[in-house]
Amino acid sequence: MNAPAATHPVLDDLLIDTEADNRPPPHPTPAASRGRQLLLGLSVVLIAFNLRPVFSSLSVTLPEIMATSGLTPTAASFLTTLPVLCLGLFAPLAPWLGRRFGTERTLLGCMLLIVVGTLARGSGSLALLFVASAIAGIGIAVNNVLLPALFKRDFAHRAALMMGLYTMAVCGGAASAAGLTVPLEHALGGGWPRALALWAVPAALVTLLWAPLALPLKPRASESGVTVRGLWRDRLAWQVTLFMGLQSALAYIVMGWLAPILRERGLDAATAGYVVSVSVMTQVVTCLVVPSIAARCRNQVGIAVAVAVLTVAAMLACLFAPLAGVWVWAVLLGIAQGGSFALALTLIVLRSPDSHVAAQLSGMAQGVGYLVAAFGPLLVGLLRGWTGSFASSAVLFVLIGAALVASGLGAGRTQYVRAVATAKGA
């Protein structure tokens, strides 16, 4: 699912700010009433809730979509990959959009994209289903990057708390869509189009709540005074990026294909959705705990290897082990994947000498990383179409896991990336 991890207080000073390299340290917003601050915090957490239903609602309805629309396994693999691809392609635009239109207004515009894209998926048209998924994916990509920056700016003294709430909200959104989409489809009728479109309702409500807060705020003055050199040539930076991308590949394989895998093995649609939901919600625990543990360790190599191995083992168990133990495998998978994503974000901070480098490394890791991640669900779908079974995906799981271990061995070392932040013109 890949929700942002909560940070430990010792990391708060280095919390990644996507705008840090483009302007001086941000000043808090003007003093506001406690009620308005609570409303602001509630709104951004609710925005976070709407960043993953697009993925998990599609996963649990994919077999019906294929059966009723004639969607081929190859086309299904591209459909599950498309929103993930958008995360990589459009995340780098987020800082520029935030500076150009203001963070709050950009978040509002992207929530509108999520509402429109999610609602349009209910048309029943396959062509529009692809287009709508891309539209929603663009909105999610930008909001993924801007929300943590807003937390640091407006909740500087509660950054760890807000990131923790953010993590839980993203997990809650993904788990809700995985667990409730099929039951809602059965209860309300209308088939998979209505089931997918229903997730536009919470997104629309949050958009209406956010609009009065965002529209009056103008973009803030921005001064670009710092540039970072040498990052893209640094080996350690690429190891951190690959760790982010490869663990995301496994996460989006689970998000996009675990329910169809379990249904092919004999679980009914609702139960398969509940299994995915339990796995996603379990991620909250390790998302909250792992950053604190990682920050206290001499290095993070052991944690990186452990979460990679456990992730692959749990995925193989879901693929081949008796279904009687599927709830155990789901919980172990959630523990491992929550830990791997939390560690990926923590490594960005720990491997950066200052916030300017951290901001650039974050953009590199998320932009390139999500492009790498897009190949995970794509290849699973292609293998299913070529072989007629998900069993062939086991080799893919192992190969990605081996590469994840290799990148973790490098990224987990106690070093800084060899990149330097300097004043422009220096």
Whether 4 is in a domain gets the answer no
Contact between 114 and 50 under an 8 Å Cβ cutoff? The reply is yes
pLDDT of residue 408: 96
- Number of domains, the chain: 1
Is 1 inside a domain boundary? no
User: Quick check: is 210 in a domain?
Assistant: yes
Q: What is the reported pLDDT for 159? A: 60
CA distance 289 to 296: 12
Q: What is the pLDDT of residue 99?
A: 77
Q: Give the predicted TM-score (pTM) of the model.
A: 0.78
Q: What is the 3-state secondary structure (H, E, C) of 118-131?
A: HHHHHHCCHHHHHH
Phi and psi at 229, nearest 5°, equal: -115, 145
Between CA 181 and CA 385 the distance in angstroms is 25
Residue 2 lies in a domain: no
Owning domain of residue 258: 9-25+33-423
Sequence-ordered list of residues with C-beta below 8 angstroms from that of 283, at least 6 positions apart, any chain: 1, 3, 171, 334, 335, 337, 338, 341
290 part of a folded domain: yes
What's the confidence (pLDDT) of residue 124? 87
Per-residue pLDDT tens listing for the chain (426 residues): 554 443 444 454 444 444 444 444 444 455 446 767 788 888 888 998 999 899 889 988 888 898 888 888 888 888 988 988 998 899 888 878 887 888 889 999 999 999 999 999 999 899 999 999 999 999 998 888 788 767 767 776 776 577 667 777 888 888 889 889 989 888 888 889 999 999 999 999 999 999 998 888 777 654 345 576 778 888 999 999 999 999 999 999 998 899 999 999 999 988 998 999 899 889 888 887 888 788 888 899 999 999 999 999 999 999 999 999 999 999 999 999 988 988 888 888 788 887 667 767 877 888 888 899 989 999 998 999 899 889 999 999 999 999 999 999 999 998 888 877 666 555
Residue 177 maps to a domain = yes
The pLDDT score that the predictor gives to residue 240 is: 93
The pLDDT value given to residue 265: 92
Helix (H, G, I), strand (E, B) or coil at 321: coil
> What is the reported pLDDT for 360?
76
What is residue 421's predicted lDDT score, i.e. its pLDDT?
A: 65
Distances (CA, A) of 411 to 222, 237, 303: 33, 8, 11
* Distance in angstroms (rounded) separating the CA atoms of residues 219 and 239: 35
**Quick check: is 139 in a domain?**
yes
What does the pLDDT read at residue 353?
Answer: 81
- State residue 5's pLDDT score: 40
SS3 content of the chain, % helix, strand, coil (to 5): 80, 0, 20
User: Could you tell me if residue 3 is inside a domain?
Assistant: no
At residue 11, the pLDDT reads 52
At 4 the pLDDT is 43
* CATH number of the CATH domain containing 385: 1.20.1250.20
